[in-house]
């Protein structure tokens, strides 16, 4: 199914459901990292996280849920990549876009602007090499492989990550919760109907704002 307009952010429960069309360079201040739709991202991710967590009894396969939103260097256009490298060192690994309040990721101490360098001692694929790949399907698979590494580690138990934050590296242990496998992507669009592409749910950016006015997305 064709996604209307460029997808700008991804909200996911394990990590990130990558935004396949390239993102433009962010226009927010440096202390509001990563995406011009961060508020909408986090609202959608929070709702998705609660659905996945509370529906876990209905799913035969327990899925690691963290409330962690990631972004990846190849998801940005050229200007955006340069800015993300400068601001957030996104050429070192997948970056933390945001964490859902009260989630395992937030409790572990992860925060927006962090970069994941490795999991259980295994480095993540080189973001610059992925960004240099011109074929979108190829770098999409590479991004998915990065997230598969995180999922596999969390399925086995608490995972030890090496984190880069403001130029300093340190270890951090993340213990995922368990829930249903659910990924929600936020796409820039004025339409108000969410839909599924078979791999997750696409939520148009106009829907959260409209729903918030009606108190439908509030806790």
pTM: 0.75
Q: Class for domain 7-213, per CATH?
A: mainly beta
Residues 171 and 116: their CA atoms lie apart, in Å, by 10
User: Residue 48's pLDDT band (boundaries 50, 70, 90)?
Assistant: confident
Tokens of 130: 């992925």
Residues 34 and 186: their CA atoms lie apart, in Å, by 14
Q: What are the domain boundaries of the chain? A: 7-213
Q: How far is CA 49 from the centre of its chain?
A: 12
Query: 143-181: per-residue pLDDT in tens?
Result: 989 999 999 999 999 999 999 999 999 999 999 998 887
């Amino acid at each position: 199914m064709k996604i209307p307009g460029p997808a700008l952010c991804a909200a996911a429960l394990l990590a990130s459901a990558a935004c396949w069309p390239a993102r433009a360079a962010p226009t927010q201040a440096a202390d509001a990292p990563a995406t011009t739709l961060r508020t909408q991202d986090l609202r959608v991710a929070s709702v998705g996280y609660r659905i996945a967590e509370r529906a876990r009894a209905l799913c035969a396969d327990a899925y690691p849920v963290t409330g962690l939103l990631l972004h990846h260097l190849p998801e940005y256009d050229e200007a955006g990549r340069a800015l993300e490298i400068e601001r957030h060192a996104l050429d070192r690994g997948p970056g933390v876009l945001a964490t859902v309040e009260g989630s395992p990721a937030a409790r572990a101490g992860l925060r927006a602007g962090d970069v994941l360098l490795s999991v259980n001692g295994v480095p993540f694929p080189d973001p610059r090499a992925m960004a240099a790949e011109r074929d979108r399907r190829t770098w999409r698979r590479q991004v998915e492989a990065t997230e598969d590494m995180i999922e596999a580690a969390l399925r086995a138990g608490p995972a030890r990550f090496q984190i880069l934050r403001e130029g300093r590296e340190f270890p951090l242990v993340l213990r995922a919760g368990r829930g249903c496998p659910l990924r929600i992507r936020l796409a820039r669009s004025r339409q108000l109907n969410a839909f599924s592409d078979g791999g997750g749910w696409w939520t148009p950016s106009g829907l959260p704002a409209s729903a918030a006015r009606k108190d439908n997305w509030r806790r």
